[in-house]
Structure 1
């Protein structure tokens, strides 16, 4: 399945991988937080990729989360926008990024 290997490669080859949809306000908010922290990340806009729907289905199978953004840092699933902001507020995000 091409979508599975695309997702796994994205997670493996990027310190921060954000599976997103270009029009999603939560995705935009999450990416803005990362940008404000000067964190480089790879964004995969599922609504603009031919296999985006299959990638999103695989992510749900992989981590149980069906919504976007679906964020990985150092190959660890962080969750969505609220999870990312919570990790930033309590200091976990900085620790994840330093690892």
Structure 2
């Protein structure tokens, strides 16, 4: 869990993904389209990825990816981020964390 917290705080926006996961790709694209440049950690390519996956499960991620952190805080999984985008609060979170500027 310590490593997860360290990585989640490494940048204003952080996305934990798996390289072959289509929802992970969609969330990364959404962030790029909003002007963010998130840190992306592909847990299936990380030697300690299983540890990260277990830590994400403990946070309540089901499925475990994509898991999104903004400003070091766990935002949620794909459905949570998409819901926040639809209400406009995702952009506000990214602005507050200085992940994007306008």
TM-score w.r.t. structure 1 length?
0.88
Residue equivalent to 2:48? 51
Distance 2:86 2:62 in 1: 24
What is the CA–CA distance in structure 1 between the aligned matches of 2:8 and 2:51, rounded to whole Å? 16
The RMSD of aligned alpha carbons is: 1.1
Residue by residue over 1:22-73, the C-alpha shift from the partner in whole angstroms, topping out at 9 and shown as x without a partner, is: 1001101100101111101001001100011111101222x11142101111
Question: Structure 1 unaligned runs (5+)?
Answer: none
Q: How many residues align?
A: 95
Moved >6 Å (runs of 4+): none
> Residues 1-99 of structure 1 correspond to what in structure 2 (within 5 A)?
4-61=1-58, 63-67=59-63, 68-99=65-96
Task: Output the CA distance in 2 between the equivalents of 1:12 and 1:18.
Answer: 11
The gaps in structure 2 that reach 5 residues or longer are 97-102
